Each structure stands twice: as structure tokens, then as C-alpha cells.
Amino acid sequence: MVHLGAMQKIKPPQRIFRDDEEVDYVIVGVGSAGGVLLQRLARAGFKVLGMEAGKFWDTERDWVSDEAGSHQLYWNDLRITGGEHPLALGSNNSGKGVGGGSVHWAAFTPRFHPSDFEVYTRDGVGADWPLSYEELEPYYELLEQEIPVAGPAWYPWGKPHGHPYAPHPMGGVGDVLIKGCTKLGIPVSAGGPVAILSASRGNRPHCIYRGFCIQACKVGAKASTLITHVPDALEHGAEVRDRSMVARISMRPDGRTDGVVYIDRDGRERFQRARAVIVSGYAIETPRLLLNSACPGHEHGLANSSGTLGKYLMAQAGNVVLGRFDELIRMYKAPPAHALTEEFYETDPKRDFARGFAIQTVGPLPIAFSKQMMAAKGLWGWSMRREMMEYNHWAALGLLGEILPWADNRVELAAERDQYGLRVAKVTFRLRDNDKKLIEFGKNKVMEVMHAAGAVEVVQESRYAHLVGAARMGKDPSTSVCDKFGRTWDIPNLFVMDGSVMPTQGSANPGLTIQALAARTADYLITQGDAIFNSASRDMTPPPVCRSLSPPDTFTSGAPHLR
């Protein structure tokens, strides 16, 4: 029996496909997108296999409520980072193991705004999405109900909507954000939107506010696809093959893929036949796998005839502003994610940059806090120790600022190889003028809020959060990797579906949007049926929204809210 949270247990001896048995879909990476795809396709009756490089977690045995002990949740294999503003890789912007990054996300789940889907049209920067907000909206609603999302019943930003679960009570940091914002007349959302249960549902207990969200929630209150979608997928005949690293996607001479070559848990190279392949490895591993799969006819990597594969990688500005208060804050209590404002989200003609940012609560635990103190104040040694004793008096607010997609912010292959002998990813990143102005303005605004809340000392650390892009979707095969359903332009039975398909990123955390896009693609695949496996024709009609494929308990609970 494998524990999934405090109350849920599943029996892992699941269906196991033989290597020579042709499955319908192989999904590479069982994370936010992969978990949802796996569940949908399994329910629809497809033979579906999820390959996951990390392990299938037993939450009681593998996870610890300890900051230092949670590093195995990240992708710690070798990666090379560089450029003028190099990104820190291998921690909160990566994931390994079933559930992927959703295991350790803070679970903020704001939707993107309608404007995010037409950034180029509105502001002349970035790119437009090949789909509109309205096309994705029903999937936002559906996933918010499935996960489910806790938050106010009326949420004013973007397209106003509400949330199916009640907002959470405030922790000390949320109180700081609310005090600061209300003092400055800035509207603020209390208690969500966050994919953490504010009341129990089925075999998942509600949040107990112990604060170890991003160390993986042992309680099972925080949603991850490991506990929300994967159990249902297994029940409906899917297989999750964990500790299996896909090395390359195999191509047939006729330009279609016929499966994946992977390295199993014992280090043997094996081949799994499949009628179609979906790559859900997130913004670094997805382009890396496609690049590593280069073969005759696809010398620059699979699905790269446009030359855009690996390009337009985006991170969000994630500056952390820390404020010291005379009174106790105790920011380790309550989920890090529990209040935010999107008042500065949209382009404001009064400012000298396009797009905007959000301000969110952050609740670093002591190790993260000490790193921030080191970066923000240059503390070391005894001065660090003294500041650490003040930990309970500090509050941390995060900027979440939109950085635009630029072609030379990209993922390439480095010369170095990892433990499987595969070339590792090299990530290059540089900020442009618009990004720098946005960060400067946003950072100052967060500091203003912190001061307004009564902080006696305010410092900040520059950092980045989230990674999306690098295999973007688009309307034009010459400037994008895949179409609006994630189907690659070059190979009719190869799909990309995860954060890497996003053309722009808004200043919303990407998790919910990734899952919504995955559910939509699943509906598309189900509607298309065998055409995916046999035909090269591309049907671009949006699929009808399928509500009958949701996990159990989806529609039996939830409070009244604005739809």
C-alpha cells in the first residue's frame, strides 16, 4: 500500500504494459500536465502509460516535514545555467517524481487574465496565444472544482469569478499584506486562490496550517496531481512507470514516432512502443528531450523545423521583499500562499513599461530565510545568527512580475552528460529593458506595501520564479513548435503539453493554467480518437468540454460562488 496523504492509500500493483505491447499514449513526465492527461485518457479507455524519471512517492515514507530533508523533490541532476542574469535551477522551478512540481508548489492558483492571451495585439510586445481566454475558461472552472481551489467567492481581477472552496484564515504574512494594501487603498484577496483544502473532501483532510507546503504536504490537503489525478488514473487502467528516464523519442522513416527509448530503474535501456507520444517534462526537460532525440530527418531536434524549440524561455520576476516588525509574525505558520493582489497586473499607460505584476505572500522557512538574508543584507557568521533569532519578527512578500518572451532566453544542449550519458540542458537568460523597469517598479511597490503595514526595516532579494516557454504553441508553424492543442507541427503523433507550450506567462502562477491546458488537450485527443494515430490531418475545432471524466468527488462538494 502506498500512502497518499494522511487518509488516502492506494495499492500500487497496477496494470503493467509489456515493452512490445503497443500502448496508445506514452506520456513523458507525470507532473502537473502529465497527471491530468494520464487520468483523462485512462478514463476515456485509452491504453496509457506515464513515464516518470523520479519515483512514485509514498507520502508517509518518502516525505519529511523538514526543510533540509526535502531536496529530493527537485530535479537535482546536472544542468548548466548562464547568460547575463542566470537563473537558479534545480529547486522550486523543477520537480522530479510522480506529481512533478505540483508536489512542492506553493499552490497559488490564479487564472491568467484575458489580456494574457493577446499580449502582442494589445501591447505590441511578446506574443499572442493561439487560443483565447474564453476557450480555456471552462477548463479553469473544471480544474478549480477538481483540485479544488480555495479562495474568495468573488474575485475581482481578470474575468471576475469565484472559487469553489472557502478562503483560508490568514497567517501573519497575510495579515501584513492586508494591512499594507488596505492602508494604501489597494484591493487584496484574502485566503486564496490556492489549491489547498479549506475543508475536507473525500479522503483528503483539510489544511492544518502547519506550513510545510513547499516541502510536500504530508497531510494531503494541498493538491498535487499525485493525490488528485494519478490515483484515479491508476484505477482506470493507466500505468505509471516510475524511475524511468526517457532518453529519446524514436522516429519511424515515415515521419511519425513509434515510441520512446528509456532507461529503466535498473539502468537498462529499453524501448516502449506507442501510437502517440506526449512530452510533459516542463520547460527544461521537454526541449532537452526533443533536442536529444535529433535523428536523420530531424537534425536540429524533433519538432524544430521552425527553429523555435528551446527559445522564448520565460521565468517570472520573483523578488522577495522582507520586512521586520516589532510584533511577532511567525511566518512559518499557515501556507506560504494565502493572500495576494493583482491590482497591478495589467499594462498601465501611466507606467513606462508593458504588462505588470502581482504581490503575493511568501512564508520562507528558516533555511530559505537565511539564504534571503544573506542575499539581501550580506549577512554571514555571527550577524546572520543574530538575525536568525529574529526570524519570528520577519514577514516576506513576493513580487510576481511578468518577464516577456525573448528568443535568446533559451534552452540548448550542453556538452556535459548526466548519469545516463545524455547531454544535459544549458539555460541562457537575460533581462531586457521592459523587464528591468517592471521589476524596479514592482519591487518598490512591494516595499511600499511592506512599509505601510508597519515594517521597521525592509530589505529585498532579487530572484526568479517559475519557468515556462521553450516549446511554444502558436498559429504559425514557422514561429512555433506546436499548435494550440500541443500537437507538434512537424510530427502528427507527437505532442507537447506542459508549461513549455506557453507563449507568454502573465503574472499568475502557471500551475492551474498548465492543468487546464492539459485537460483541454485531453478532450481534444479523446474527440479525435484514432485520427491522432493514423492521420496527419489537423482538425482545429475546439473539443466539447467533457465533464464526465473528472475524478470522483469533483461535483459533490463546494460552496456557492460566482461562476
Least Å distance, CB 452 to another protein, is 12
Distance CA 218, CA 5 (A): 5
Nearest residue (CB) to another protein, 201 versus 445: 201
Query: Comparing C-alpha atoms, which of 25, 75, 30, 37 is closest to residue 51?
Result: 30
User: 10 Å Cβ neighbour count for 546?
Assistant: 18
Nearest residue (CB) to another protein, 537 versus 556: 556
User: Quick one: which of 42, 178, 194, 317 contacts another protein (CB under 8 A)?
Assistant: 178
409 burial via Cβ count (<10 Å: 0-12, 13-18, 19+): buried
- Asked if 558 interacts with another protein (CB under 8 A), we say yes
Nine-digit cell string for 483: 499548435
User: Quick one: which of 152, 211, 301, 405 contacts another protein (CB under 8 A)?
Assistant: 152
Query: Comparing C-alpha atoms, which of 103, 79, 20, 11 is closest to residue 287?
Result: 79
Q: Which of residues 292-311 bind another protein (CB under 8 A)?
A: none
Look at strands 269-279 and 8-10 and give their pairing: unpaired
Nearest residue (CB) to another protein, 263 versus 450: 450
Q: Which of residues 198-217 bind another protein (CB under 8 A)?
A: 198-201, 205-206, 208
Listed ranges 195-203, 270-278, 300-308, 373-381: which one lies at the site for another protein (CB under 8 A): 195-203
Buried b (16+ CB within 10 A) or exposed e, 55-88: ebbebeebbeeebeebeebbbebebbbeeebebe
Least Å distance, CB 177 to another protein, is 8
User: Quick one: which of 64, 166, 294, 376 contacts another protein (CB under 8 A)?
Assistant: 166
Least Å distance, CB 190 to another protein, is 5
User: Quick one: which of 50, 164, 363, 442 contacts another protein (CB under 8 A)?
Assistant: 164
- By residue count, the chain amounts to 563
- Asked if 537 interacts with another protein (CB under 8 A), we say no
Least Å distance, CB 327 to another protein, is 12
Query: Comparing C-alpha atoms, which of 522, 478, 563 is closest to residue 229?
Result: 522
Nine-digit cell string for 42: 485512462
- Asked if 167 interacts with another protein (CB under 8 A), we say yes
- Asked if 175 interacts with another protein (CB under 8 A), we say yes
Half-sphere exposure of 298 (CA within 13 A, CB side): 25
User: Quick one: which of 182, 444, 534, 535 contacts another protein (CB under 8 A)?
Assistant: 182
- Asked if 191 interacts with another protein (CB under 8 A), we say yes
Nearest residue (CB) to another protein, 87 versus 178: 178
Nearest residue (CB) to another protein, 7 versus 407: 7
Least Å distance, CB 39 to another protein, is 21
Contact status, residue 99 vs residue 506, Cβ threshold 8 Å:
no
Nearest residue (CB) to another protein, 164 versus 542: 164
Q: CA 182 → CA 204, 442, 449, distances in Å?
A: 34, 17, 9
Nearest residue (CB) to another protein, 362 versus 491: 362
Listed ranges 15-23, 55-63, 190-198, 433-441: which one lies at the site for another protein (CB under 8 A): 190-198
Residue 81 β-bridge partners? 427
Least Å distance, CB 66 to another protein, is 18
- Asked if 69 interacts with another protein (CB under 8 A), we say no
Indicate the helix (H) or strand (E) that contains 439. helix 433-452
Residue 17, SS3 per DSSP: coil
Nearest residue (CB) to another protein, 206 versus 300: 206
Nearest residue (CB) to another protein, 181 versus 532: 181
Nearest residue (CB) to another protein, 455 versus 501: 455
- Asked if 108 interacts with another protein (CB under 8 A), we say no
- Asked if 72 interacts with another protein (CB under 8 A), we say no
Nine-digit cell string for 434: 521592459
Contact status, residue 260 vs residue 271, Cβ threshold 8 Å:
yes
- Asked if 261 interacts with another protein (CB under 8 A), we say no
Nearest residue (CB) to another protein, 202 versus 237: 202
Q: CA 169 → CA 13, 175, 198, 324, 360, distances in Å?
A: 40, 10, 9, 22, 15
- Strands in 462-508 per DSSP E: 464-468, 494-496
**# residues near another protein by CB under 8 A:** 34
Nearest residue (CB) to another protein, 190 versus 359: 190
3-state secondary structure 259-283: EEEEECCCCCEEEEEEEEEEECCHH
Distance CA 473, CA 136 (A): 14
User: Quick one: which of 179, 256, 270, 273 contacts another protein (CB under 8 A)?
Assistant: 179
- Asked if 425 interacts with another protein (CB under 8 A), we say no
Residue 208, SS3 per DSSP: coil
- Asked if 190 interacts with another protein (CB under 8 A), we say yes
Contact status, residue 425 vs residue 414, Cβ threshold 8 Å:
yes
Binding site for another protein (CB under 8 A): 6, 148, 150, 152-153, 164-167, 169-170, 174-176, 178-179, 181-182, 188, 190-191, 197-201, 205-206, 208, 556-560
